[in-house]
Each structure stands twice: as structure tokens, then as C-alpha cells.
Amino acid sequence: MEKRSDRKLLVIRGARQVGKTWLLKEFGRIAFKETVYVNFDNNPQMKELFSADMRIERIITGLELYSGHKIELEDTLFIFDAIQEVPQALASLKYFREDAPQYQIVCAGSLLGIALHQGTSFPVGKVEFLDLYPFSHREFLMALGKNRFDTLLEDGDFELAITFRMEYMDLLKQYYYVGGMPEVVMSFVKKKDFNEVRKIQSDILDSYVQDFSKHAPNDRGSAEVDFVIDSGSQIIPLEVKAETNLKAKSLKVYVEKYKPSYLSGRPLPIIKKRIGC
């Protein structure tokens, strides 16, 4: 990692299954002799370690016991995965940055989890974010081994590209269907099976629905999240209620939890008329 006195801790944000964990593990494999990988998802042992107190020496001792070996400072990368699942671990980044900047730590977190987590002492100014996205169209072409097609567009040789316009159109249609999630792309590269593509996409969508529910408060009831809008650097959760259910407890919890700036009402008969139902 970059040797800078003002170096902040890095947090990789991105949707689930977009490749955050693989990227950090590969970075650790290439750039470091040792990697200490901690997945905070469903990990009560690590939750307990970070909940007791924030003394860095104690946390490092716990991580050595967890990893099973002595940690060599200069040659070790710490990977904190799914860090949003343990708010105390997220808060600990502040103390690592201030009291122990010699430790080299990178984190991965669900974009939704980090953005919507409430009650967390967030280490403002102590971390920097890097957002990871699904494959772009160019990356999709490279994954398929179509580097020359990408290079042709990059070089601006559109006259030659027009000669192969049917191939470009077919590849674009494939990208529209397959999308850019790494697991889906890799499956398509190996099998060229559109049915398998759709199955993996459905599984990913199911995992997103489960992710939404994990961030609902469990102490005062459930706050439903029906849709999520990515607006620049802000994640906006939306809840939709039928006109006969506007006094639902979940709606009250939703408003208290997310404090939406706008509330909009549209009578169902008007909506049905507009869409021709």
C-alpha cells in the first residue's frame, strides 16, 4: 500500500457480489506476505472482540489469536470484510487511524449497509472510499476475449468498426442481457448459457432483498424498504404503501429511521388509469 504519512484507511464500497472480497484478497496475495482476513458477517466472536473496548493493542492480540499466528507489522494486510455488520468495527477505524496508523487495513462493505446504518460513530475524515461497480461494456468485451473489438472503439477507428457492426450489435445485446455482475459474466464466458445467466441473476436479486431486511430496526418493529435509488453518493430508500395502509407501524418506523425529505401520495385509481389498468 502507498507509504504516505497522511494515508487514510481504505473502504471499498459496492453492491453485494460485485467482487469486493475477491479484489482485496487478490491485492493481499500480490502485495503482501501475509493477509489476515476477517469476515464480520455472522461472526459473534469478532463482534465481541470489537465491542469490549477500542484499545488497539487488545484488538491486535485478538486478531492474532483469531488468525492463529503472530502478525508481522510490515508484511501483513488486514482485510475487514462486511464491516457494516459490526458497527463497533466500523467505529474502530478512527482509532486505528489516530493511534496505530502503521497497521495496513482495507475494508469492504455493502453500499446499502454503510449508507443506511444508524447509531454508528462513523470515522469521518479517517477513511477514504473507493466505489466498485459491475463490469462496464468494455470490461465485458475483454472478459469475452474480444479485446480487439474494444481497442477498435478506443482508437476511434469507426470506419472499420462499421464493417463489423453486426458483431458489435450481437455483443451489445449479450451485455444488455447478461449485465456486469462478475459471477454472471464468468458463467456466461464459460458456458454461454442464457438460462444459467438468468438463474444466477435471480439468486443475486434474492440476496439483495435479504440485505434490505437486515438493515431494518429490530427493536421497535420493522421498517420496510421496497426500492433503493442510487443518487450520486447518496442511497435513498423508498417505501410504498397502499392508501388503506397508511397508518401501518412499519411506515412510522420507516419515517423515524430514514427521515425522508419528501412524502408523495397518489390515489391508486389515478395510477391505474394512467397505466391503462
Reply yes or no on whether the pLDDT at 275 is more than 50: no
What cell numbers appear for 30 in the block?
500480490
pLDDT at residue 65, as a whole number: 93
Reply yes or no on whether the pLDDT at 31 is more than 70: yes
Mean pLDDT along residues 156-173: 94
Element at 129 (helix H, strand E) = strand 127-131
- Mean pLDDT check: name the lowest of 43-57, 120-134, 149-163, 170-184: 120-134
CA nearest to 23, candidates 133, 145, 158: 133
Higher pLDDT, 262 or 38: 38
Rounded mean pLDDT of the chain? Answer: 81
pLDDT at residue 205, as a whole number: 85
What cell numbers appear for 238 in the block?
423508498
pLDDT digits (tens, 9 = 90+) for 196-253: 999 999 999 888 777 665 655 555 455 566 656 665 555 666 666 655 666 666 667 6
Higher pLDDT, 86 or 175: 175
Contact 239, 254 (CB under 8 A): yes
pTM of the model: 0.71
Mean pLDDT along residues 62-88: 89
* Domain map (residue ranges) of the chain: 9-131, 137-202, 225-274
Contact 93, 107 (CB under 8 A): yes
Residues in the chain: 277
Rounded to an integer, what distance in angstroms lies between the CA atom of residue 36 and that of residue 103?
12
Mean pLDDT along residues 129-154: 93
Element at 35 (helix H, strand E) = strand 34-39
CATH topology for the 9-131 domain: Rossmann fold (3.40.50)
Rounded to an integer, what distance in angstroms lies between the CA atom of residue 188 and that of residue 194?
7
pLDDT digits (tens, 9 = 90+) for 243-270: 566 666 666 766 776 666 656 665 555 5
pLDDT at residue 35, as a whole number: 93
- Mean pLDDT check: name the lowest of 101-105, 127-131, 196-200, 273-277: 273-277
- Residue 126 CA, distance from chain mean position: 19
